Structures are given as C-alpha cells and as structure tokens.
C-alpha cells in the first residue's frame, strides 16, 4: 500500500502558504467565529502545522490518486493474539507473520497496543506508550518495517484512569477542560447511543460534582474537541504515530466526536471537518499515509465519510458482514445482491475496506433498512443456536435493540437456518472468496485466518460477550495445529493463503477495478470485475446454498473468442455451450487472462 505518489515541484514557501490557508479554513468551520469570537484561527493553524513539523518540510499529496493495488491485503490482530512464554507478544506476532505470511499479506492492523483500563485496549490510559505487557516502540517499529502498519487513533474518548482525567478531577491542566460536560437535566433524548449504559457519569472534582459524557462506557470518557487544546493534543499523538512508522490511521468511533445538545450527536458536520483537517495535516507530512474511518452505522451514513474524496481514504464496509452471513445461512443472495447493486463505485483516490469478521462482532445497525426485522431476528436466533452472544444498544423510547452478534466467523458458518451441517469449511471459504474478490481492499481477522472456535470460557471469565472472538493462542499450540494436516485450522489456513495469493496476482482485482453485479438467480451470487486497462475480466460466481446448482455457461455472457480458466480450480472452459455445475458453496473465478 502506498506505492505511488507524486511530490509537488511547487516552491516550499508557496506550498506552506497554501497549507496554512487549508488548515485555517478547516479551523474556521470547526471553531466558527460566532461561537469562538476571541479565537485566533491563524495562530492555531500555525501551532498545528508546527506540531507536525510542516513548518520545516511538507509535501503536497497528489489529488485523487490511488495509493493501492490488488496486492494489498491486511490481517487484523491484537498485539497478544499469539503468545509465547518468555517472549514479548509483539515479537511473537512479528515472528509468526514473517514465518507464515510474509509472502501472503502486506499489511497488519494491530488493535490498540497502548496501556488501557478496559475494552481490550479502546479505553486508552496513555496514547504515547506501548503497553509493556506487549513490548515497546521498538517492537512496533520492527513490525512497521516489515508490513504496512495500521494503528487505532482512539479519538472519541480516553480512559477514566488517564492522567488527563485525573487532572480533570483535580481541576488542573492538562485535562481540566478536556472532557465534555453536560447538565443532567438537559434533554438528551435525541442522542444516538451504541450502548445501554447511562450516558452521563457523575464525578466528584475539587470544584464539586460534575457530569461527564460517556458514549460507550463510564470508563471511556468523551473528549471535548470544542476545546482547541484537545485538538492540539490529538495532533501531537498523530505526529508520534507517524514518526513510529504508522502508515494507516483507523479513526475509531469517529462519528461521535462532536457533541451539540439538540442534535443526535453523531455525524455532526464539525466531525466531518475534523476528519478533513486531520487528513490535511497527515498527508502533507506523509503523502502515502491513509485514513480509514470506523463508523458502525447504517450504510448511507457510513458512506458519507468519503466526503468528496477529500475526507477518509477508506470506509469500513460494515454492511457486508451481516448481509453475507444472511446469504450463506438462508441460501439466498437476494439482499446481498440488492445491496451491492446500490453501492456506488468508490471515487478515484478512495476505496472500500472490506471485512467479514472483527474483534468486536457482526454489527446489526449496518443491516438496518437492508434486512427486515424478522430476517434480523432469524439471523440472531440462528447465531445463538451456534453459540453466539448478543450485545445491545439503547434505542429511542427506552427500548433496547440488538447491536451486534458476538461469535467467531468459523462457528457462525457451521450451518444454516436448518442447523449445523457438513459444509462448514466450504461455506467459510466461500465467504472469504466473496470478500477477496469484491471491489476494495480485504482485511482478514486473525481468528478467521486460523479458524478459531468460539471462546466461551473467556466470556465467562470476563463477563464480556466480545471475548468470544478474542482468544489468545499459545504460539506452540497454534504451530502444532497448523502443521497437522487434518485439523480444520490447517485446512482453512492453507486454503485462505492460497486464495489470497491468487487474488494478489490479478489486475482485475485492483481495489478500484470495474465491478458489475450478475443476475443469476438467488441461489448464486455473482459479479464481474474488469482491470483498469480492460485487458483482464474475471467472472466471480458463488453457490450460496447447500444444494448443487447448475446454470448454462451461455448465461454468463463469456466472450467466445477468449479462453476461460477458473483461477480457483485451474479448470479450463472451452465449450461455452456446456453447463457450469457448482457443488454446495463452491465458487469460480473465471478469467480470460492468467496473470500469475
């Protein structure tokens, strides 16, 4: 990732003048003169530019240029998802990646690796340190030297055990005015919540009782970006991460950053402007750096973070996991197909970040408006029968609604609405075959890569549903499982590596290559990809049912003058008057050009 970029030949003085104008324009929108009559926007702009050291040297990024190609594939993992006694987990992780994945993936997302107090890292105590239980900055830099490193920028909140919050309670800086306060009598009924816990937390300070805003939990206290000092702190953190080798910034829970009473306090226009400001500063320092926004919300809201190709470089494709899961357990691609047809191609210079499993769960908000309530209930009931847990959120009217399904993807795909069956591995590979071929860049969760089962014991130990998909592998045990041919871990691992390797060799799988949906009936899910140079086509066709499905090859509109080969099986299709027969969950990548 980040292979091509152009450095402007514009004189440095002119470029810095342009940068100051851009930053000041962002700031005048965020801190409008009516609300901040005494704020010196030009001075604040100069301060931010100095923090990132752009007053000494800055680069102008190319406009609307794709910094990625078909070879980009990431793995998502915690720093201690694989552990070995007597060895820093980050070293263990790096060794595992170098041994098994150096030729398979080129990027790694290490989930929050900072000191924390809860939420497995997302309640950050100190943004500037590496959790000493994982390793140190040297370990992070070593991984960043081998792979494109993606790190979390936890912008919305920090830990109640942080120095900033301790200072808040003691009414001293830095921290005194770093957190969003709210009168408990204020009307917050319009506020969108991702959790069921009370929104406000009562806190004893040296100035008496205060009430702070907690979107996610009372240990995760929301930062107040209405205070420009908080913005300066976050920009300093960004600069630190850039210096340590971070290339991809995952803006965690960014949708909730700006609060204004009387609004839903989600997707505020000033939130979008903050993202644009951070992008401006980041890309003028490192033109190859990438911003990804994490917004687990309905599809149309999620897409808004592309802006006009001037906001996030990428958005998480949050609707894909629940729709794909629904298709594979019901045997119907109808909703998945309808959604894909409605998705606009990512503008040049942007891409979809595709995933089908994560450290959290399978979000249900992104399925709102795409699946009917009864269909969501069926999905939930089926997953619960496979051992899944359900997390809830507070909805309007005092009701609770299902927020996400907590389950490992391997166990989620152990059967259909009819119950468990013998097609678990095939179904699981089919799911990844879809993700790997879709427009965008794929990211595979470490526990999907090695087919981890539900960690029920962990849920009991932590009382957190999300622990079900956060197992910590012993490195030696994992090596044994992967080296033993008959284990499902080894079978899945080798097959996924093979599929990834095939994907990385096809120009038609470029993240921005053309994509059209095929209409082959609900038992099949299909789409056509064409390389940017139009010299390679790939027809991706998937049987999403537990039955054998047969269709005429002529229905796919293959050009008869070309020789067609299935990249997955190697089978050649020379007689286009024959039928294509797909066994349960079998899929083909039919191409007219063998690229590797």
Residues designated catalytic:
252
Judge residue 474's burial from the number of C-beta atoms within 10 Å of its C-beta, 0-12 exposed, 13-18 middle, 19 or more buried. Answer: middle
250 annotated among ligand-binding-site residues: yes
Q: How far is residue 552's CA from residue 576's CA, in Å, rounded to a whole number?
A: 8
Dihedral sign of CA atoms 571, 575, 581, 586 in order: positive
278 annotated among ligand-binding-site residues: no
69 annotated among ligand-binding-site residues: no
DSSP class of 377: H
Q: How far is CA 278 from the centre of its chain?
A: 18
432 annotated among ligand-binding-site residues: no
Backbone φ, ψ for residue 573 (5° rounding): -120, 100
In 373-500 the beta strands, taken as DSSP E runs, fall at 389-394, 400-406, 415-416, 419-420, 441-445, 473-474
Backbone φ, ψ for residue 326 (5° rounding): -60, -45
488 annotated among ligand-binding-site residues: no
- Residues sharing a CB contact under 8 Å with residue 356, sequence separation 6 or more, in sequence order: 320, 321, 324, 325, 409, 431, 432, 435, 448
145 conformational bin, left if phi > 0, alpha if psi -120 to 50, beta if neither:
alpha
Dihedral sign of CA atoms 242, 23, 1, 361 in order: positive
Q: Name 352's bridge partners.
A: 315
Judge residue 541's burial from the number of C-beta atoms within 10 Å of its C-beta, 0-12 exposed, 13-18 middle, 19 or more buried. Answer: buried
Q: How far is residue 565's CA from residue 591's CA, in Å, rounded to a whole number?
A: 5
Q: How far is residue 373's CA from residue 64's CA, in Å, rounded to a whole number?
A: 39
DSSP class of 72: -
80 annotated among ligand-binding-site residues: no
Largest interatomic CA distance in the chain: 82
Neighbours of 483 (CB within 10 A): 10
- Residues sharing a CB contact under 8 Å with residue 543, sequence separation 6 or more, in sequence order: 430, 523, 524, 549, 582, 583, 584, 585, 586, 587
64 annotated among ligand-binding-site residues: no
- Residues sharing a CB contact under 8 Å with residue 383, sequence separation 6 or more, in sequence order: 325, 362, 390, 405, 407, 412
Known binding-site residue numbers for substrate: 119, 157, 250-252, 359-360, 466
Known binding-site residue numbers: 119, 157, 250-252, 359-360, 466
């Amino acid at each position: 990732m980040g292979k091509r970029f152009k450095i402007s030949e514009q004189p440095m003085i002119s470029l810095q003048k342009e940068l100051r104008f851009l930053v000041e324009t962002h700031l005048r929108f965020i801190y409008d003169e009516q609300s901040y009559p005494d704020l010196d926007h030009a001075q604040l702009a100069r301060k931010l530019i100095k923090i990132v050291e752009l007053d000494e040297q800055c680069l102008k990024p190319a406009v609307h240029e794709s910094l990625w190609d078909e070879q980009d594939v990431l793995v998502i993992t915690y720093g201690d998802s694989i552990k070995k006694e007597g060895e820093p987990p980050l070293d263990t992780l790096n060794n595992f990646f170098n041994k098994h994945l150096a030729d398979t993936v080129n990027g790694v997302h290490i989930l929050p690796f900072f000191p924390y107090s809860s939420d497995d890292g997302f309640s950050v105590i100190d943004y500037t340190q590496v959790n000493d239980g994982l390793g140190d900055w040297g370990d992070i830099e070593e991984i960043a030297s081998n792979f494109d490193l993606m790190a979390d920028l936890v912008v919305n909140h920090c830990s109640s055990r942080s120095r900033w919050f301790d200072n808040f309670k003691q009414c001293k800086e830095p921290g005194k005015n770093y957190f969003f306060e709210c009168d408990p009598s204020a009307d917050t009924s319009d506020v969108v919540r991702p959790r069921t816990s009370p929104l406000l937390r009562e806190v004893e300070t040296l100035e008496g009782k205060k009430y702070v805003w907690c979107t996610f939990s009372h240990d995760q206290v929301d930062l107040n970006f209405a205070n420009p000092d908080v913005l300066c702190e976050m920009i300093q953190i960004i600069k630190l991460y850039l210096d340590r080798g971070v290339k991809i910034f995952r803006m965690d829970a960014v949708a909730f950053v700006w609060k204004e009473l009387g609004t839903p306090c989600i997707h505020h226009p000033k939130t979008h402007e903050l993202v644009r400001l951070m992008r401006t500063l980041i890309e003028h320092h490192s033109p190859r750096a990438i911003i990804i926004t994490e917004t687990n919300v309905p599809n149309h809201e999620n897409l808004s973070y592309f802006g006009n190709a001037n906001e996030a470089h990428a958005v998480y494709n949050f609707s894909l996991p629940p729709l794909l899961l629904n298709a594979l357990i019901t045997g119907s691609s109808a909703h998945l197909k309808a959604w894909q047809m409605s998705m606009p191609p990512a503008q040049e210079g942007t891409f979809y970040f595709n995933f089908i499993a994560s450290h959290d769960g399978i979000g249900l908000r992104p399925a709102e408006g795409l699946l009917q309530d009864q269909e969501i209930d069926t999905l939930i009931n089926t997953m619960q029968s496979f051992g899944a847990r359900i997390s809830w959120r507070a909805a309007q009217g005092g009701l609770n609604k299902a927020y996400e399904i907590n389950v490992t993807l391997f166990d989620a795909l152990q059967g259909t609405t009819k119950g468990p069956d013998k097609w678990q591995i095939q179904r699981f590979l089919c799911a990844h075959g879809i993700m790997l071929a879709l427009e965008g860049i794929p990211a595979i969760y470490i526990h999907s890569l090695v087919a981890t089962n539900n960690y029920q014991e962990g849920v009991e130990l932590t009382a957190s549903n999300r622990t079900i998909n956060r197992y910590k592998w012993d490195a030696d045990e994992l090596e044994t499982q992967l080296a033993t041919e008959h284990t499902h871990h080894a079978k899945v691992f080798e097959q996924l590596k093979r599929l990834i390797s095939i994907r990385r060799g096809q120009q038609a799988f470029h993240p921005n290559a053309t994509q059209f949906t095929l209409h082959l009936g609900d038992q099949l899910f299909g789409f056509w990809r064409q390389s940017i140079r139009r010299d390679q086509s790939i027809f991706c066709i998937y049987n999403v049912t537990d039955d054998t499905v047969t269709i005429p090859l002529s229905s796919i509109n293959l050009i008869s003058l070309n020789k067609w080969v299935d990249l997955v099986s190697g089978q050649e299709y020379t007689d286009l008057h024959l039928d294509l027969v797909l066994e349960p969950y079998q899929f083909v990548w039919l191409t007219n050009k063998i690229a590797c």
